[in-house]
Structure formats: C-alpha cells, structure tokens
Amino acid sequence: MNEQHPRRVVITGVGAITPLGNDWPTSWSGIVNGASGVGPITLFDASTFPSSIAAEVKDFDPAPFMPHKKHLKFANRFTTFGLAAAREAVDDAKLNPAGLDPTRFGIIIGAGQEKYNLAELAEFVQLFGQAHRVDYEALGTYGWQVANPNNLLKSQLNLTASLLAIAYGAVGLNLTVHSACASSQSIGDAFNIIRRGDLDVAISGGVDSMIDETSLTGFCLLQTLSARNDEPTRASRPFDLDRDGFVLGEGAGMMVLESLEHALARGASIRGEVLGYGSSSNAYRITDIPPAGEGAVVSMRLSLEDAGLEPEAVDYVNAHGTSTKMNDASETRALKAVFGDHADQVPASSTKSQIGHLISAAGTVELLVCLSAIEEDVLPPTINYETPDPECDLDYVPNVARPKPIEVALSNSFGFGGSNCSIIIGRYRPEGRGA
C-alpha cells in the first residue's frame, strides 16, 4: 500500500445488468461458462445497416428500481440499468443507507449520453404547438430538443447519479465522469476520494447504452463495428487474426466502495480491495491509438506504482480487447512494454468477446469480472479465439475458462479521445499487502 494514502478502500457490494443477465451472479455464470450475449438488434430496425448485431440487455423491467414512479417519464434506458445494478450492490453490501452519515456518502458514476428521439420530439412539438399556439417548427431541430422537458432531462449526463442520490439519500459528493470507454475512471476517482478521507462510502460504477440509430450510424461510418451479421455470437473475437471490429453492448456495473475502517465498523463482508489506479491521455488522435500503446503503458505503470506493486505481482489482466485490428495489437505491445519478460506469464482475456463493448459501463463490469476471478480463482475466457495473430501473441485464455490462483488483477480501459484507465484490485488481506 502506498504510504501516502493510509486509508484502505474495499469493495463490499457489487451489482450488474449485462447482455448475459439482469444480475451479477447470472452474468458471471455466463462469462465463466463461455456464453455470448450477442445477437441481431431488436431495439429498432437495423436491417439496412452494415452492422446489424449488438449485445442487448434482455427482458429487463425498469419499474421496480425507480425511486419514484414519475421518474419513469424521463429516466433513459441506461439510467434504469444503473438503478437496478446499484440496488443489487447495496443489497449485496447489506448497506443500510438510513444508518449512514449522509454527508459522508457519495455517488460517483461513469455515464454515456442519451440521444434525442427526433420522432418523439416532433410529435410532442406538434401537440404542444397546437395547444399553445407556438410555432416550434420554425425553431428547427434545436427547438425540438428544448421543447420537451422530459427529453431534456433524459439527455443530462448526471441523471443516473442524481437519481441514485435521491434513492439512497446520499448528500455527499455527487460526480459524473464521461471519458467514453475509459469512464471506469469513476471507480478510480471514488477510490482516491475515499482514501484521502472526503467520503466513507460511495456507490460507484458505469452505465451506458449506445444501441440506437444515431450511434450505430456513426460507428458504421467509422468502420469500427463487426459486420459478421450472419454469425453474431462469433462476431466479437478479440486478438483473433480474423477480427473485423467490435460489437456494441449495453448495461451497467456498480460497486459499493468503503474505507476499510467504515466497513469493519459496521461488520461488512469484504469482497476485495482496490489497490491502485492510473490514468493517462494519449494526446494522439480522437479515434486512433498510438501503435505502440504509449498512453496505455503510462496508465498501467501508474496503477502499479500507486499500488506499490511490481509487474510480477499481477496474476491476471482483463484487457480492453475490443476486437479491432489496431486496438488489440496496440494493447498487446503495451502489455509487453509494462510486463517485459513476464508478459508471457500473465493471462490477459477480454470479456468483450462475450458481452460486446459496453462503452461507459465496460470498465466497471470488467472490474467486476476481475473481482469474481479473484474470489473463485478462475481465469475467464476470450471466446471466438480461433486463429492466432502474430501481432497478438500473449496468453488470452482462449475459449475456455481456466483455474488459476489469483491474488491481484488489473483491468484496462482505453477510450475514444485518448483517455486511459488502469485499476488494480486484490484479494482482501486483513494485514495488508506485503506484510
């Protein structure tokens, strides 16, 4: 443990909504058993798109998780995922929010941004204009966007964090992080805020859903999505030679994080410990990453330094592993730069092979994978790994989960715009690491 930060931060509860299940135990079971949550898009007609597949959340009813029924009017899809995952995490932690000091209880969330449904807005504008004699058509698209207050609320990045604060009476710091695929920086921020003493407990995680016409159009134009429409379960294939792009996913992952003192004082069961956090920027290009992975190297090294660990202490890496040509090769080079001669000995699998890319929710869900891997001493697989790529030549735990003692795991998340996030968690040891 870094001596500059005497407060230790532990994980006492987890929850998730993923394409493999509407709770974390179901999702984890699917992951460790090599299941795929990818299929044809059903949320809208995507038949004319070059990529018409995604990893959707299935059979989800948001109503039981809303703080108030009226919130259903403006809660967007991924916010409802976040509320459900947070409920599971709070229950898992056996946390009684009413018994907390509300000023020491915070909400720190990584979130995507809701898109406006122009068809719904147009209908509202027509009705509103008729009733109030307002010519909103003259205002154009922007007028449509501001006309409907519910749609305006849906688009707010901090909506999930705000509704969670209302649901649990959390009066402390309320923060929303948006750094695309690296929005698991929310967990890193919560870790830092708790260990420096500003909060005792936080609900932290990530939420997103980009399975919509606007997002699909953009990613198709960027040519980053897999077009393996006839084989959806085989489409996401990180590190495989025949990978042709990533698969959009959606969902939410949440954790209850506490200072060790707070967790022990209330008799909480401790599932794991956050050990280190590193973040960096590529300062390179918006959509591309540097071929040698320099920014990723920086974030991983910073996380190791923050944890006070040598690379050899890491037993497993949950790779960013998007299934794109450039990202997978770049991350492989970055792992070799950080782990050196030890790189061949560190298994690095990609959960995106099974649940697609959850964008702002990806990093937190993948950190939950690391936690369960530590708890059960099992390496989750990279499915659809069939043909080795000479540029990607590490141990990616191909196709089948593998037993292995795991004490320390590292999760990588690298986002559009060049943000990088690496978080290290470990098995909880009462005496601390290195004792």
- Cα–Cα distance, 346 to 292 (Å, whole number): 19
Q: Which member of 178, 262, 320, 392 is catalytic?
A: 320
Helix/strand/coil percent split, the chain, to 5: 40, 20, 40
DSSP one-letter code for 246: B
Nearest to 67 by CA among 162, 177, 174: 162
The C-alpha atoms of residue 68 and residue 66 are separated, in whole angstroms, by 5
Q: How many CB atoms lie within 10 A of CB 376?
A: 14
Residue 9: what are its φ and ψ, rounded to 5°?
Answer: -120, 125
Taking the mean position of all CA atoms in its chain, how far away is CA 71? 24
| Beta bridge mates, 304 | none
**What residues contact residue 66 under an 8 Å CB cut-off, 6+ apart?**
72, 75, 80, 83, 163
Strand pairing report for 348-349 and 201-209: unpaired
Catalytic residue among 181, 370, 392, 421: 181
Q: Alpha-carbon distance 88 to 254, whole Å?
A: 8
How far apart CA 231 and CA 384 sit, in angstroms, is 11
Measured between alpha carbons, how far is residue 279 from residues 153, 158, 161, 255, 276 in Å?
30, 22, 22, 19, 10
CA neighbor of 344 nearest in space, from 318, 372, 312, 382: 312
Which residues are bridge partners to 209 per DSSP?
250
| 181 has catalytic annotation | yes
* Coil, strand or helix at 135: coil
Q: Quick one: which of 336, 326, 300 has its CA closest to 420?
A: 300
Q: 384 near 240, Cβ under 8 Å? A: yes
Is residue 5 annotated as part of the catalytic site, yes or no? Answer: no
Looking at 71, 178, 262, 357, which residue is catalytic? 357
- CB proximity list for 107: less than 8 A, separation 6 or greater: 161, 164, 165, 168, 170, 172, 173, 174, 175, 202, 203, 204
CB 355 within 8 A of CB 383: no
Burial class (CB in 10 A: 0-12, 13-18, 19+), 258: buried
Q: Is 68 assigned a catalytic role?
A: no
Instruction: Kindly list the catalytic residues.
Output: 181, 320, 357
